[in-house]
Structure 1
Amino acid sequence: MPDYTIIQKDFYRESGKWLSPLKIWAKCINPNLHYVYILRKAQRYKHNPVPALFWKIILRHYQIKYGFQIYPETEIGEGLYLGHWGALVINPKAKIGRNCNIAQGVTIGQQNRGKNEGYPVIGDEVWIGPNAVIVGSISIGNNVLIAPNAYVNFDVPSDSMVMGNPGKIYPNTEATAGYINNKV
Structure 2
Amino acid sequence: MAEKYSIIQKDFYRESGKWLSTFEIWAKCINPNLHFIYILRKTQQYKKKSLLGVFWRMVLRHHQIKYGFQIYPETEIGEGFYLGHWGSLVINPKVKIGKNCNIAQGVTIGQQNRGKNQGFPTISDQVWIGTNAVIVGGVTIGNNVLIAPNSYVNFDVPANSVVMGNPGKIYEAENATEGYINHTV
- Pick the TM interval, shorter chain: over 0.9
State the AA in 2 paired with 1:107.
Answer: T
In structure 2, the residue matched to 1:136 is 137
Question: TM-score if structure 2 supplies the norm length?
Answer: 0.98
What corresponds to 1:106 in structure 2?
A: 107
| CA distance in 2: counterparts of 1:48 and 1:81, whole angstroms | 28
Residue aligned with 2:72, SS: coil
Deviations 1:47-93 (A, max 9, x none): 56111100000000000000000000000000000000111000000
**CA distance, structure 2, for counterparts of residue 163 and residue 44 of structure 1:** 36
Q: Tell me the distance in 2 between the aligned counterparts of 1:176 and 1:162.
A: 11
Partner Cα separation in structure 1 for residue 46 and residue 6 of structure 2? 14
Amino acid corresponding to residue 171 of structure 2 in structure 1: Y
Q: Which residue of 2 aligns with 1:27?
A: 28
Map 1:137-156; keep pairs closer than 5 Å: 137-156=138-157
Aligned position for 1:79: 80
- Contact map agreement 1:46 1:72 (CA 8 A) in 2: no
SS in structure 2 at match of 1:62: helix
RMSD of the alignment, in Å? 0.8
The whole-number CA distance in structure 2 between the counterparts of 1:47 and 1:36 is 18
Unaligned runs of 5+ in 2: none
**What's 1:64 paired with?**
65
Is residue 7–residue 80 contact of structure 2 (8 Å, CA) maintained in 1? yes
Q: Which residue of 1 aligns with 2:123?
A: 122
Secondary structure of 1:61's counterpart equals helix
Normalising by structure 1, we get a TM-score of 0.99
Residue ranges of structure 1 left out of the alignment (5+ in a row): none
Q: Does 1:167 align with 2:168?
A: yes
Are the counterparts in 1 of residues 48 and 54 from structure 2 also a CA contact under 8 Å? no
Secondary structure in 2 aligned to 1:131?
coil
Matched positions, count = 184
